[in-house]
Structure 1
Amino acid sequence: MKKIKLFVCLVLLLVGCQPQPQTQPQKEETKNTVSCHFIGDLLYEKPYYDWIEDDSQDKGYYDLVRPYLQNDDLSIANLETPIGGKELNISGTGYSFNASREIGKQVASLDLEVVSTANNHANDRGNQGIDNTLDFLKEKDILAVGTYYNQDDRDQGKYMTIHGIKFGFVSYTYATNQIVSDENQAKVALFNRPSDRKMTQAYKDLLTKEVTQTRENCDVLIAMMHWGNEFTYDISTQQEEVSQLLSDLGVDIIIGNHSHCSQPMEWINNNRTLCMYSLGNFVSADPIVDRTHQEFKNAYNVSMMVSLDIVEENNQISIQNIDYIPVINYYDEHLQNFKLIPYDQYTTQYETSHYHYHNGLTKEWIQQTYQKLIPEKLSNHQLQ
């Protein structure tokens, strides 16, 4: 495997290189770049279904974000709604979710390469829902990570080679809403005991075994984690402990979700691992969110789309050009005209007509929130 060397672009300066003798032929340099975008939860809720009416039509919902994902090499999202199909009862309310194949086609239209399927909704429709989701994603050539047909499927590991760089993927969740039976434990990857959310030695050993095996067979290892607490910008003690463990095991990038808001992004373990604790909801449609106060009702509607490049040059790999842009999940005061809007395209007309504008969801609030979450050392850009 190639030697992994992670650093923030433009921070590391190479000095003291000795010139080659003129009589010695110059070694031809090779450089491969994989451009990436990481987005948050795809959570399909009832108001969105009500708006599209015929769920085969997205009515332009994704038009402004689709180009980002179609013009890169690797796009990753958290699919938090099973695509179990109409035969398993479509639902976008409460704690039980399931989408139709038509919604699945909307997901596929984003040109995602990888989705995490390990989250608390993974087992909402049981084994059949898991298998139907995996079947659909396989049909659309999207790599699913975190739920599996069986133990053999899980043991094979999940890999993808892009521009000569081999990526490995793992994904885990803290629990599922519907408990996975003992005989089906292989179908959903858990990182802790769901009854009390404690990482027992047995769960730690299993995670260590799987991550280590994947690390041995790839150049870049990405872990997708459904973890932490909902409706908070703060990182939990468990997130800190698990991220440290993953980094020690050789994970290069951690993509977190579950909090329904964005959380900090930082280098951890002496710049060994880039950790995004939570990207927030990319797709969602709950205007009420009765489980929290107004700050996080607003945050529920804004996610973080992270972009970066994985660069291989002369057998060394680096993470470069780390950047992000907030994406606003727009809908008007009548719960109509849903649209995903990157911050730089969020016009005054969109801003002032958003359902939550008069509750404080403004461009100024977005700017202030993300400036607190993301340190300058990771991204030099200033939100305008």
Structure 2
Amino acid sequence: MKKVLAMLISMVFLLSACGKEEQTYTATAGKPVPEVKTVKMAVVGDIMVHDYQYNEAYDPATDTYNFMHNFQDAKKYFEGNDLVIGNLELTFGGTDRPYSSFPCFNTPDSFLDAVKDAGFNLLTTANNHSMDTGKAGVIRTLDKLDEYGIEHFGTYRSQKERDTIFYKEVNGITFAFLSYTYSTNGIPVPDDYLVNLLDADLMTADIREARQNADVVVVMPHMGNEYEEYPRDVFVEWADLMFEAGADIVLASHPHVLQKMEYRKVDHGNGEHDGFIIYSLGNFISSQTTPPRNASIILHLTVEQVAEEAPNVTEVSFVPIWTQFRNAADENYFVVRSVTERLSLSQAEKDAQIRPKDQKRLEEIHHETASFLLGREIPFSEMQEEYIFPKN
């Protein structure tokens, strides 16, 4: 009888349990474990193709351009990231006009093969070279990006496109992406919707609208003075305006050299949380080979959202990089390299791949990049492939 009673009680408990939604509890507190959503981003600066790069990529036997080697060393630092973002500072204007670089960039479509292969899936197109091949070039560039499956924001084909903020849900977190440029180098913009210009009223209205629908608002302004390593007050004020309007992350470009970065405490009515800014990402690839324009970083950001709390930028790290433009045989050869990886080679390997003066330059870049961004001397004994940026 006792056995039968015990079986009946067990069945009651089992049936009761089947009618309830399963919950996860911590081992210690007996409370439900809050859901944690995580998004990882890799971000780089200016993606440019100058004449030296065209000439090196050109194969006269086939009359084609092959850029595939440009990012083969760097692409591993993009793997495992949900978003791989850069500033596309050129246009794909097509073959109706000659290929060209500064002052007006018209790049072979095949460069997109290398960009896509590297892992880029999101590009800002608002910069001072957006109008280099006119309205037709703006539209054709967007069409080519669509063809390659690379998403974009900052330039548009219509007023409706411009007024539709770019949202992207990643791992349950909704991001909004906006970008603006200070100028189009004096080239007229025949229709206002083609390029987002850095206008306080326009930008503030866009950010506030994005804030209503997004968990994280990312703004990528094209601003700053070229080749200056510290942002002037006016650009700090522009960044402050972006944060006040509702931005969580600001990723700026245009100076072609690195500028400082910092965490920012922000509160947009959903609780104080950690935001982030870098005032200039520098060059990712270009033919600007003189120091410090040939040194930059691959920036890694981790965004986490716990339950319904405001998302935080929980970790920032960076990989110092260098654009090699000539190989050990002193031939043009454009490849984005990890500084630490090259410095860690044996001397024989260095000599086989890198000119002696570039070996010296790599040591300088390590100091310029790591010590500058971390705010302290980083001796070679502490050299790392990737550095964690500390929260102060």
- Length-normalised TM-score, structure 1: 0.81
Does residue 1:167 correspond to 2:175, yes or no?
yes
The equivalent residue for 2:388 is none
The equivalent residue for 2:297 is 304
Describe the SS at the equivalent of 1:36.
strand
- 1:22 & 1:95 partners in 2: Cα distance? 63
Aligned structure 1 segments of 4 or more residues deviating by more than 4 angstroms = 20-25, 269-272, 348-355
The equivalent residue for 2:195 is 188
For residue 281 of structure 1, what is the amino acid of its counterpart? N
Ranked by relative contact order (alpha carbons within 8 Å, sequence separation 6 or more), the top structure is 1
Distance 1:382 1:236, change over 3 A: farther
CA shift digits 1:269-320 (9 cap, x unpaired): 6675311111111111244xxxxxxxxx211111111112111222232212
Q: Give runs of aligned pairs for residues 147-166 of structure 1, distance below 5 A.
A: 147-166=155-174
Does residue 1:324 correspond to 2:318, yes or no?
yes
- Length-normalised TM-score, structure 2: 0.80
User: 1:351·1:363 contact (CA, 8 Å) conserved in 2?
Assistant: no
- 2:28 & 2:80 partners in 1: Cα distance? 43
- Please point out which of 232, 243, 255 is paired with 1:236: 232
- 1:161 & 1:255 partners in 2: Cα distance? 19
In structure 2, stretches of 5+ residues that fail to align are: 1-24, 267-272, 385-392
- 1:21 & 1:107 partners in 2: Cα distance? 44
Describe the SS at the equivalent of 2:323.
strand
Distance 1:232 1:354, change over 3 A: farther
User: 2:259·2:282 contact (CA, 8 Å) conserved in 1?
Assistant: yes
In structure 1, stretches of 5+ residues that fail to align are: 1-19, 192-202, 288-296
- 1:266 & 1:367 partners in 2: Cα distance? 20
For residue 274 of structure 1, what is the amino acid of its counterpart? F
Greater share of helix: 2
Distance 1:43 1:351, change over 3 A: farther
Deviates more, 1:100-109 or 1:169-178: 100-109
Aligned pair count reads: 340
Does residue 1:176 correspond to 2:184, yes or no?
yes
Describe the SS at the equivalent of 1:224.
strand
Describe the SS at the equivalent of 2:110.
helix
CA shift digits 1:6-33 (9 cap, x unpaired): xxxxxxxxxxxxxx99999521331221
Percent identity, aligned pairs only?
27
CA shift digits 1:41-66 (9 cap, x unpaired): 10111111111113542252211111
- 2:27 & 2:78 partners in 1: Cα distance? 45
User: 1:312·1:318 contact (CA, 8 Å) conserved in 2?
Assistant: yes
Does residue 1:39 correspond to 2:39, yes or no?
no
The equivalent residue for 1:267 is 263
Does residue 1:60 correspond to 2:60, yes or no?
no
The equivalent residue for 1:115 is 123
Describe the SS at the equivalent of 2:319.
strand
Query: Greater CA radius of gyration, 1 or 2?
Result: 2
- Please point out which of 20, 29, 34 is paired with 1:29: 34
User: 1:227·1:256 contact (CA, 8 Å) conserved in 2?
Assistant: yes
- 2:262 & 2:28 partners in 1: Cα distance? 45
